[in-house]
Structure 1
Amino acid sequence: MELQQMRYVVAVAETNSFTRAAERCLVVQSALSHQVARLEKELGARLFERTSRRVRLTPAGEAFLPAARQCLDAAERAAAEVAAAVGEVRGRLAIGLIPTVTAVDVPAALRDFHERYPQVRISLRIGASDELIEQTAAGTADVAFLGLPTTKQPRGVAAHELARGNLLAVVAPEHPLAGEPSVSLRRLSREVFVDLPAGTAGRAQSDQAFAAAGLTRDVAYEVTSADYVTRLVAPGLGVALLPSAYAPHLSGVRTIEVTDAPARVEYVIWSATAPTPAATAFLTLLTTTTPTLAAALG
């Protein structure tokens, strides 16, 4: 069993096509198909069901795929560790991010990192805070930036607090509250809300604040991005609560201070056990703009 054969299997599984997998792996299709067939013969089981219209994993293929990915990740990590031992940073850097993080200019940090370590392959995924914690703990993300209610902390990962801040009310320019200097949760509870999906960390901070005040509210619109929150608020479909530090990024809406506002904490997180050389280099780079992070890195 060879690593290249595993790469081919993963490519076929991800593209659902031998042709597209061969294009991704920069080989002719016949060579890729031959290597997959050799591997299937060695394993004594077919990994793919092939028809004229589609390719899909068999139960054996479903069982093989996670282990194959782990082997490829381990091989990549081994090469990166050897490079680090001789003073080079290589491999991959998978970054996770929620869009409302403002304590770190992530695009600028990635630009600086790429200029300093051009041999590292950088990837970025946008997701919910809870998902990013799970991905970082599992090793599919190396470093993530997220926000949580003050009642919750990241578990299973190393974490450093970047900033704290309150939420602001966000309303349409024509809304009756738009000219007010401040508003209470009780007054807001009479409004229709736009918010993140129930159960997410971004939603929890608002839900907890209303519950603690003995209030209920009507969340009629659930969206997955802060950008779409404002697209629904601007025409007057509802109101929202968003982090105060994110306010400069908003347009077409008005923001109002909330007298009993819920708060959230922004974190950077990484592997609690063995961050990759690329992750360590990236976190070290962040210490130039976040000096307190140096102590957390030890």
Structure 2
Amino acid sequence: MANQHSRIVERALTRLKLRQLRLLIAVGQHGNIQSAAADLGISQPAATKMIQELELDFEVKLFRRTNRGAIPTVFGESLIRHGKLIFAQVSHAAQELDDLNQGNSGRVVIGTLLAASSSLLPQAIETVLRTRPNVMVKVIEGTNDALMPALLSGEIDMVLGRLPNLRHRSKIVQEKLFSEKVLAVAGPQHPLAGKTGVTFDDLKPSTWILPPVETTLRRQVDQYFIKQDQYAPAIAIESVSFLTNRALLRAHEFIGLMPEHVPSLDLENGLLTRIDWDVPFGAGSVGVSHRGAESLSPASAAFLEALRTAAEAF
């Protein structure tokens, strides 16, 4: 087995071409060799030969030919994933060289979840820019289901927010920064604003603003609702946009569920109010996920340290 591994590595180092990986990824995207070949501007016979050479070099079958086209095998899916990571790293290298050529000192791409975007992330950005004023920072907001694959493929450098449970953990490094709970919030005009000892029965008639179904928090909400005699809100809005949620809460008698640091400034300024209900779910760890220290550029490493410093105040 060791000899086979060494043999394949040697072939990859001496014979593998980026053009072959581009074709491999394209076949995976299009589902057939003909469309992938057209996309790359090569003939179908040439493309077929390139795939065959890859299969010989790696000693595995990469695609199954069916009447529906070329379907990646588990080996094909694995090599496609690694190919995407290689191209992402090449793209990042080119971007970093361009940044340095233009007088910038690196680039960091951050994926962020709602739990971290309102306070922790801005503080970390301010810290980095004080010491590295020419760093280019790109922020992409989304859910773990969208951000984690982008992290694994190298499209983003790190994900900041609620740490996912178990999924992806074997492939990435996770670092807890602080713990937080979930709050029920509303606009100051809500009938329950200012009332003490609010119970779930008081909340049942409400229209809810809930996180999307693909989030961990939403799964916890749904489990809790099921335990409350199969409770189902008459109206529920799904939204991860804080600006949208804030506007809806202030204009209507809605109840929103948010990690406690998200609405903190609005609660202090009276734009929103906390409902006096001790949310019995949703407490969790907020942290940062990345592909390991060796994957971090100097700018990304500096940003990670800035996150750690900012989190000390939470």
Q: TM-score range by the shorter chain?
A: 0.5 to 0.7
Paired with 1:160 and 1:71, the residues of 2 have a C-alpha distance of: 25
Candidates 260, 264, 267, aligned match of 2:287: 267
Paired with 1:171 and 1:38, the residues of 2 have a C-alpha distance of: 53
More strand per residue: 1
Q: Is the 8 A contact 2:209 2:237 kept in 1?
A: yes
Candidates 140, 145, 155, aligned match of 2:168: 155
Q: Is the 8 A contact 1:172 1:252 kept in 2?
A: yes
Could you say if the C-alpha distance between residues 196 and 216 of structure 1 is closer, same or farther in structure 2, counting changes exceeding 3 Å? same
Q: Is the 8 A contact 2:89 2:154 kept in 1?
A: no
1:13-65 per-residue CA deviation (whole Å, 9 max, x = no partner) reads xxxxxxxxxxxxxxxxxxxxxxxx99758x967xxxxxxxxxxxxx9xxxxx9
Amino acid in structure 2 at the alignment position of 1:192: T
Tell me the CA shift for residue 94 of structure 1: 1.0
Q: Is the 8 A contact 1:148 1:201 kept in 2?
A: no
Within a 5 Å distance, the mapping from 1:33-72 to structure 2 comes to 40=42, 70-72=85-87
Moved more, 111-120 or 92-101: 111-120
Within a 5 Å distance, the mapping from 1:271-290 to structure 2 comes to 271-272=291-292, 274-277=294-297, 278-290=299-311
1:107-127 per-residue CA deviation (whole Å, 9 max, x = no partner) reads 232233244345654211011
More helix per residue: 2
Q: Percent identity?
A: 23
Within a 5 Å distance, the mapping from 1:115-126 to structure 2 comes to 115-117=130-132, 120-126=135-141
The residue that corresponds to 1:129 in the other structure is 144
Amino acid in structure 1 at the alignment position of 2:306: L
Amino acid in structure 2 at the alignment position of 1:247: P
Could you say if the C-alpha distance between residues 164 and 214 of structure 1 is closer, same or farther in structure 2, counting changes exceeding 3 Å? farther
Q: TM-score, normalised by structure 1?
A: 0.62
The residue that corresponds to 2:197 in the other structure is 182
> Structure 2: which 5+ runs fail to align?
1-16, 22-38, 48-68, 70-79, 98-103
Paired with 1:113 and 1:74, the residues of 2 have a C-alpha distance of: 22
The residue that corresponds to 1:138 in the other structure is 153
The residue that corresponds to 2:274 in the other structure is 255
Tell me the C-alpha RMSD between the 2 structures. 4.4
Paired with 1:80 and 1:222, the residues of 2 have a C-alpha distance of: 36
Query: Do structure 1's residue 210 and structure 2's residue 225 form an aligned pair?
Result: yes
1:110-158 per-residue CA deviation (whole Å, 9 max, x = no partner) reads 2332443456542110111332223223322211111268xx3563321
Could you say if the C-alpha distance between residues 198 and 255 of structure 1 is closer, same or farther in structure 2, counting changes exceeding 3 Å? same
How many residues end up aligned between the 2 structures?
Answer: 244
The residue that corresponds to 2:243 in the other structure is 227
> Structure 1: which 5+ runs fail to align?
7-36, 46-58, 60-64, 83-88, 293-298
Candidates 248, 258, 276, aligned match of 1:242: 258
